[in-house]
Chain A
């Protein structure tokens, strides 16, 4: 009885959330931006008007024209095409990073909550240590160990953000374990995996979803920032951070050029945050702002 009730509540809640978000213009705005980025990333070769890597020294630093809608960069490459291709690392980093964070976070959080004892203390201590560093410093240290590349950026961002999920999962699991229906389910012989999948995961689903929306934005932000510092993706690879770095060197002579990667990054940030915000409101209007 209690199991079906619980599951029914989850289903009903999802339906309500979707209904609410369909009505929310914020969800539309954020959703379309995210969709736009996804489409650019997947279909980049089809959409991009030119080859993003093809240099042309006779056409350096040109302004917008019919041939190159957003102009050309310092090596004469088409900026629009580079912008579109740059959605690929952004999507890879955000989705890859979040998958790593969420999976490791859930596993460690569940372990801490179910096993307890020394293991719990160790896991919590790992979380604390990761959080003891300012994120950028931790990322820089890790990067200095494994060297800059797309994969290392993904893994490092995933690990850096992971404790948030670990803590949410652990806290939620502990409070769920106290609840009567879990006790009851256990007394009826339900094993841990059943409790995890039927009771705990549906319950943390909401908070994890909201958190990951925000974290995906910040991962894209970090990737661009690291590439901007020359520590993330390396040129000639096309990434918004790399483009920012390249155009920053010509800021006095061609200040317009830096606008495009800036816009792309800002739009992405706003897209993800508005979507997460709308999701947060739809899930729980009273949910605390603190994240």
Chain B
């Protein structure tokens, strides 16, 4: 298990390096002089010269890439043009909101999805199952922003049940209240996906021979369903959770904009609109890191459920 995790961790490094290379090359790919782009329109020639020296932009690209890497390792992601603050600080300010939102959304999706999927598998071939299957199919094809907009129209505008803006002012309950709508909106698409996956995986598992053996030895149905079959059937679901967290991170962009919440997604969208290159770079790096970590966690938890990998 330990060796597996180490291997998996090492595999992350080339990916991260490439992501960094792409982000680094952004300043060359964008039209105009890199220093001007990084400093923004208010820069004086002296500032540009100073920056060129500091970032090594006057040296060959690979040297300045190394300098870029060194700065990142030191935690220096540059200064936001638009906010005139350290990029790292801005990101660290909003990051918790996005992480909490994503985890809450995934939690809801996993819980609701598995429940719906189990119900559907349990009542296979009934009208109730057809109804659940339809629900999962529709939710699985609902874009996050549609879910968000509909939630606001119905629950905020019509019934005034959930707040449509912001993160709440202090207090745990207020934050939680403000989290309901966004997390629900974020979870909708994956709820359907996980429900469908759970159902098909459960049915496939229940069809296998060991389930018959267990049955023939007199183990009760509920026990077979929720212990033996579920643990086997849950594997593909674990496998998609990492993927799902990545997708939900993407969905968080929309949710944060729609519900007007601070967060990484909204930060990146705004910086793209503001042409704030250091901020875009930093935000994308943070998002890519989160994505990679999510995949890593998923792989490791997957290994935990598959003893064959665990032993290696």
Contact = CB atoms under 8 A, between A and B. Distances in A.
A258 B141 CA distance: 19
B249 A134 contact: yes
Interface string B235-254: 01000000000110111011
A269 B142 contact: yes
A135 B250 contact: yes
Contacts of B18: 125, 129, 132
B29 to A, nearest CB: 5
B143 A132 contact: no
Contact of A230 (B138, B247, B273, B275): B273
A229 B30 CA distance: 21
B153 A273 contact: no
A106 interface: no
Contacts of A258: 149, 153
Given A230-B273, A269-B143, A251 B153 contact: yes
Contact of B269 (A132, A133, A231): A231
Contacts of A265: 143, 146
A144 B280 contact: yes
A225 B15 contact: no
Nearest to B265: A136
A262 interface: yes
A255 interface: yes
Nearest to B249: A134
Nearest to A259: B153
A145 interface: yes
A290 B145 CA distance: 24
Contact of B29 (A128, A134, A145, A231): A145
Nearest to B25: A145
Contacts of A266: 141-142, 146
Given A137-B288, A269-B143, A289-B200, A229 B269 contact: yes
What is the size category of the interface that chain A forms with chain B? 35 or more
Contact of A270 (B138, B258, B272): B138
B287 A137 contact: yes
A144 to B, nearest CB: 5
A155 interface: no
Contacts of A229: 253-254, 257, 269
Given A134-B247, A134-B249, A228 B15 contact: no
A44 to B, nearest CB: 23
Interface string A250-291: 011001001100100110011001100100000000000110
A86 interface: no
A144 B157 contact: no
Contacts of B273: 230-231
A248 interface: yes
Contacts of A134: 246-247, 249-250, 287-288, 291
A150 B143 CA distance: 20
Interface in B60-107: none
B137 interface: yes
B146 A132 contact: no
B252 to A, nearest CB: 9
B253 A136 contact: yes
A48 interface: no
B152 interface: yes
B284 A141 contact: yes
A270 B19 contact: no
Contacts of B258: 248
Contacts of A269: 141-143
Nearest to A265: B146
Interface string B126-147: 0000000000011011111110
Given A145-B29, A277-B137, 14 more contacts: A132-B19, A136-B253, A140-B272, A141-B26, A221-B143, A225-B144, A228-B254, A231-B273, A251-B149, A262-B146, A262-B149, A262-B150, A269-B141, A289-B200
Interface of A: 125, 128-129, 132-137, 140-141, 143-145, 217, 221, 224-225, 228-231, 244, 248, 251-252, 255, 258-259, 262, 265-266, 269-270, 273-274, 277, 289-290
